[in-house]
Structure formats: C-alpha cells, structure tokens
Structure 1
C-alpha cells in the first residue's frame, strides 16, 4: 500500500506533536498553583500599604505588577508573587527588610540597583523562609544578621548593573553573620563576590547550590558543626574556602575549573580541625585541595582529577588520608612542614608501585617530596625548570628523611571504586535536549521510510 506525501506528512506531524501534548498534560511546569486561604489585592496599591494592612498569619498573593521599594515587613505574613510580581529598589536601603519572625517570601522578582554594602533583602528575624526568589543586585543579594533557623532555598541571585551606570562594588550572594541553624539549599548564584558567605553561624547546612563566576563559591569562617554538601562550583577563584572551623562535614561537592587566579583552589582548608572531607571531586583546578595549619581531619574517598597540583599541604599534621584518588594531575602532591599525617590506601596514578603478593596494595611506599615546593617558595623563577630532568634529579637527591614527611605506606595499585570518579553533574536541560533529539531522529527515520514505501 502506498501513501501520498500529504497523508504521510500529516501522520508525521501527529507523531511529532503527540508526545509533546502528553508532556504538557502530565507536567504543567509553568502553570501557577492555585492557592487557598489567601488574600488578593486589586492592582495599583503600593506594596508597603498591602503589607501594613495585613494581619499576623495572612497569606498575600500579589497581582503581577511592578512595585517600588523599599518595604519593611513587621508582621508575620506570607508574601507570594507567583513569579510575576517584581519589586524594584533604587535607594540605598534594602529592597525588603524583614523584622518579624516566621515571614515567608515566595516567587518574587527583586531588582536592587545599588552596589557596595547595600542589599536586596535583609533579614533580622528568626524562622524566615525565602523561596523561589529571582534577585538581581548590584550589591548583596540576601543578608542575615542575628537571624536563626532561616530557610533559603531555590533562589536565583545574580549581579546586576543598571543601564548607563558603571560597575560598582559587588557584594555576596547570601551573607550570614551570627545566624545559626539555617538551611541554604538549591540556590543558583553567579557573578557576585562570594556566593555564600558564612561567619560565626553554627549548625548551618549548605546543600545542592550551584555557584559560578565568583571569588569564593562558598566562604566559611567559624561555622562549627555545619555541613557543606552536594554543591557544584565552577569558574570561581576558589570553590570552597573553609577557615577556622571544627566538626564540619564537606562531602559530595564538585569544584571544577577554578583557574582564574594563581592561588585558585578547588577546596581550601585553613585552620580546620576534627572535620570530615569526603567524596568530593576537584577537577581541572590550579590546586585541587589545599590544606594549611589543619589537624585531626579525615580526608577520604575524594578524587583530585586533572589539576595542576592534586593536593598541597603546608603545616598540616595529624590528618588521615584514606582511599583518595589522584589522577592525571601535573603534580600529584606537595607537602611542606607536614609530618605525622596518616596516609594509607590512596591511589597515585603517577606512582610506579610494586605488588609482589598481588593484594592490590603496593609493597613500596609513596612519599610526597617537598623539595620543589621549598625551592620555588624561596625563588619563584625556578618554576621554569618544573619537571625538567635536572629538577627531578635534585628532587631525588634531596628527598630527605621520608619517615618524617608525608608518606603513603600502602598506596593502591588501582583506583578504589568508592571514589567519586564517575560523578556526573546532571543538567536537566542537557538530558531533555538529548531525549528530544533522539525522538526527532526516530520520527524522521520513520517518516523517510513511509515516503519510500
């Protein structure tokens, strides 16, 4: 049986549109939810008037308008913009100041035109929720001061320059001081100074954030008992800078392409104690993991991949390194004044070990040689001779007492499968595009087959 071109074309069009109709019916991603028990206001009222008229506990659905800031919230209310209400602030005051406990802001667009130490949203109250906000700011994005148990989730924060104005001083995306027990998750922050800055803010969870084109993706100072997990940082000066902390977990993060500065690192640990750094992937950075003046920490199941220096230690003693993988780095490791670290069962791909009893562990230890690092610290011009035959010869001659340095007594002959070398940063857009391309390809093959029949 033969089909005409027009009939075949109609069948092709039906086949092409049917899956899209099914997706639209099953996944109404862009429809606005219907809220119950909320108050709607007619267009034209100022946002401050709307807030001032609310009773404690009220939920306010804003009309899809553009409002002028600044505004101050002194009553426990829920303010929802449905993704279409926009607040523009051109003053040096915060676009939104929250002074009441339990306030919730959802799906509001905030544009803050000022730079420097000014901020789009300032929180000075407890148990505040900021969710689904789109913030464009010339200064800071969200600033918390003495505000405990906040929930800051699913927000997008970017640097913004008003048209015709010069670039000013950038602030941090999310900035916490003396604000404990907060949850900061699944935010996207880019082009500001530091993505997430935490100081003197204990028991804080920073999870699943995406941080790009910043100085420090995550900057932590004195945040004891906190967790930094499952974050992705790319194209920053440093992925995560963790300083002056105890009992902190840094796990499941991916920091790649931190190469914008000669001092760029994937993870920087300074004065860190009794903390756990596990299952992280540091890839394509100048230094994968840099540790200084830190002790009694556990580094386990991390992978340093394609960095200039995989791991660099300075005055770091008494730490434990187990099942880490160092792969395709220009220099696997450097250590200066870093004795009495326990290294067992790490994989060093540049190390030629010997496994006589075939137990998967080299019978020859791997020693981190500090000669090159000490030499260039005295005269940086010697970096020109990196990996030269003469430099390698001198390194072997002046290796010194390996027993007093950092030595892996039982290096692995192959990478432990528990290390996160197979970690893939999932991008929903890429996955959807791939499936659509596959679908179009299959339909095209079917269509061409019908025309030939």
Structure 2
C-alpha cells in the first residue's frame, strides 16, 4: 500500500515536471525562433555572385514597376526617377559592401516605392541603408540589417515607413563600429511611421524638426531611446511598445503632441532610465499609457500646461517625478506597487486630482468611489534613502512603516491628491495591457502550488 502511494506520487511529480519542462521548452523555442528569424534575414556577405542593381534601375522608365527575381544584388544604388521596386516577398537582397560612407539606397525622386526587399548595409558610421531626399516615398516590408543607420529622411515630406524590420549588423571580421538610429528624420513633415520592428541600434525612432509626424504601433527593443523626438509639434506617438531600452520615449521641446496608448516596460538598467521622459513639453496630452517596471515611470522636467490622464504607473521604482514642472493636470491615473509613488522638486501649481493610489486606504462615506479623505504623499522614505541608500533594504518593513506614519514635518507642503479614487478608473489603462510575460509565470506558479498541495496530502496520508 505504501509503495503504491509512493509510486503514484512519483508519477504525479514526473507529469508536473514534464509540464514545466514543456513550458520552459516553449519559452526557449520562442526565443530561438526570434533569433532564427533574425539570422535568416541576414543575407550573404559576399558580392561574388551578386547582380548589379543600378543598371536595372537605369534601364527602367519613370513610372515602371520592377519586380526583382530572387537573388542577391549589389549596391550602392541611386534612384532619381519615380519607380516601384519590389523585392519579391523578400527573396531579393541588396548587398552594399562599398567604401565607407556609401549609402546603400539613395532616393531622390518623389513618389518612389521600395517594398519587400532585404537590404544589408555593411558600412558603419553615418551611412544609411536607405536615405530619402524626396517627398511621398513609401518604404514597406523591408528587412534592413545595417552597421550604421537604418532609414534616414532628410527634407522628405509625406513619406510612409511601414512594416519594416531594422537590426544592427556587424560584418564578419569587422569592428563593432558606431550604432546609428533605426529610423532618423530631420526636417521631414507629415510622415507616417507605422508597425516597424527595431532593435539593437542607438535610438529606435529619432525625429527632429519634423512636424505632424505619426509614430504608431512600432516595436522597439534594446535601444538607448525607443522614441527620441525634438521639435515635432502636432505629432502623435501612439500605440507603441518599448522594452529593455534606457528610456521608452524621450519627448523634448514640443507643443501640442499626443503620447497615447503606449506600453513602455523594463527600462531599468541605467540610473537615468525612464518609461516616458517629458522635457520642455507644453500643452500636450499624455494619456492611456502603461509604464511598468522602469526606474522612473514618468519624468516631467521644465514642462507646463500638459494633461496626464488615465495612465497606469505600475511596479516602477519611482512612479512619477516632477522637476521644475508647473501647471500640469494629473488626474485619473493609477499607481500600483511602485516603491516611491511620486516626487516633486521645484514644481508648483500642478493639479493632482482623482488618481488611484494602491497604498492609500481611503474612506468613502458617500459611495461614489472617491475617498472623502485626501491623500498626501509622504516624503519620509524618499528623504531617508537620499541621505543613505542602504535604508532601501527596509522598504515596507514594519519599522519603516511606523516611522513614516509618525513623520509629519511640513505636511502642508506635501503633494496632495484631494479626491483620490477608491479603485482604478474604468477608462484608465489596465494591467492587462502590460504584456504576456506574466502569463507564463502564473502558470508555473499554479503548477508549483498544485505540487505542494499533492505533497501535503500525501504526507498526511502517510501519517494516518
């Protein structure tokens, strides 16, 4: 009887271990699939059998469609007439191994379309895989591997850059070189940058002096700044995903910009990491974003008259940080599991009202889901660790909580939410938007819990 029970328990444990191994295998397979996809997109590194592409372009008439046969073509190329060049579902590859400084594809005619092609740019430094110096150009479905910059626009208006994959690339035997930006715009207005995947470069999408630009549904990983923009008045940064960057979105020197629906997670490897950084930003809207697991969720410096609403600020070291920021409206945001919920230095007249603070136990006598007690953000812990960082070890310990509750010095000057919410606002970004990584953790957790229960029951049966 005892042997049978033991064998049964061992069988259960084996099944559970197999299930857990399966989950681990799936995770590893997913990672290897991404790696394999990236490797597959990396093209040949020799021009021995490559077909020169420039003569094909020179022979075509303006307005023609060139469907390239599968194979490897050599660059660089210069396109100065309106053409559509299709890489045949990425079975055609342009390889540029020319002298340093040579751009792989230079576009200087309006209305050109370059689609579904692999482009490998072996030159590093300031050279780009594709440089556009014309209006209404479409770049779509490109798989770009570059040792320097990816796609560059200079005084090129009304362009469309969509569904491209851009990665950093080091030719065999070459030094690492200098990483450029994935997509780089200067003085190029009205551009649509949508559904691109960019990784391992300097800045994912860099915009300067480029008004009315739309940056929508891009995926940005392992970069310095996912989105880095300056002087882009009237632009929209919406529905993007950024992870493992130094900063998710750095927005500087702008007015009337919308930052909405983005998810910036796990920007925490650098002491200057933030989910969203706003510097010298005016009359802009930062709404419905998720900032999770960053060193600072939202950092606002020298910015005024902005609306920050319905953002989910989740599991950051510092939730939101104001520095010399005045006259901003901060309402209906959700703060969940941040070490320090908010900090403010030299910042006045910011309206903080109707936010949800998970560390606050409010009192709702009227049943309207709004606390009748205000929430004042206690700076005790912040001030303590600024003097001695070692006290971080005692975060949320009973002694630290007791001392924090006793601290009331200068309470009239504390940042205060006069009407905090009792629960997350219905229209706020939800924790469900924060990615799929938590799902696997939950499954493994439940499996371990189940194993523990089986073990406890089994031990109980043995005692009987």
Contact persistence 1:66–1:85 (CA under 8 A): yes
Structure 1 distance, partners of 2:374, 2:274, is 27
Is 1:255 aligned to 2:271, yes or no? no
Give the aligned partner of residue 282 of structure 1.
Answer: 291
Contact persistence 1:272–1:294 (CA under 8 A): yes
The CA deviation string for residues 92-145 of structure 1, in whole angstroms up to 9 with x for no partner, is 211000011111100010001122211111111111100000000011000111
RMSD: 2.2
Structure 2 distance, partners of 1:291, 1:212, is 23
**Counterparts in 2 of 1:396 and 1:180: CA distance versus 1, 3 Å:** farther
Is 1:87 aligned to 2:87, yes or no? no
Give the aligned partner of residue 197 of structure 1.
Answer: 206
- Tell me which of 325, 345, 348 is aligned to 1:339: 348
User: Paired residues, what number?
Assistant: 385
- Partner SS state of residue 52, structure 1: helix
TM-score scaled by structure 2? 0.78
Structure 2 distance, partners of 1:266, 1:325, is 15
Contact persistence 1:102–1:127 (CA under 8 A): yes
Give the aligned partner of residue 67 of structure 1.
Answer: 73
Structure 1 distance, partners of 2:97, 2:298, is 41
- Tell me which of 88, 105, 115 is aligned to 1:106: 115
Structure 2 distance, partners of 1:376, 1:211, is 33
- Partner SS state of residue 203, structure 2: coil
**Counterparts in 2 of 1:368 and 1:316: CA distance versus 1, 3 Å:** farther
Runs of 5+ unmatched residues, structure 1: 1-42, 431-453
Structure 2 distance, partners of 1:243, 1:373, is 27
The CA deviation string for residues 373-431 of structure 1, in whole angstroms up to 9 with x for no partner, is 466667767766755646973786364253x553211001111121121444788xx9x
Structure 1 distance, partners of 2:248, 2:256, is 20
Deviation of residue 242 (structure 1)? 0.7
Structure 2 distance, partners of 1:56, 1:425, is 47
Structure 2 distance, partners of 1:426, 1:84, is 32
Query: Where do 1:303-342 residues align within 5 Å?
Result: 303-342=312-351
Give the aligned partner of residue 407 of structure 2.
Answer: 397
The CA deviation string for residues 256-310 of structure 1, in whole angstroms up to 9 with x for no partner, is 1111212211111111110000000111111111111111000111001111111
Give the aligned partner of residue 359 of structure 1.
Answer: 368
- Tell me which of 273, 291, 308 is aligned to 2:282: 273
Deviation of residue 146 (structure 1)? 0.8
**Counterparts in 2 of 1:90 and 1:211: CA distance versus 1, 3 Å:** same
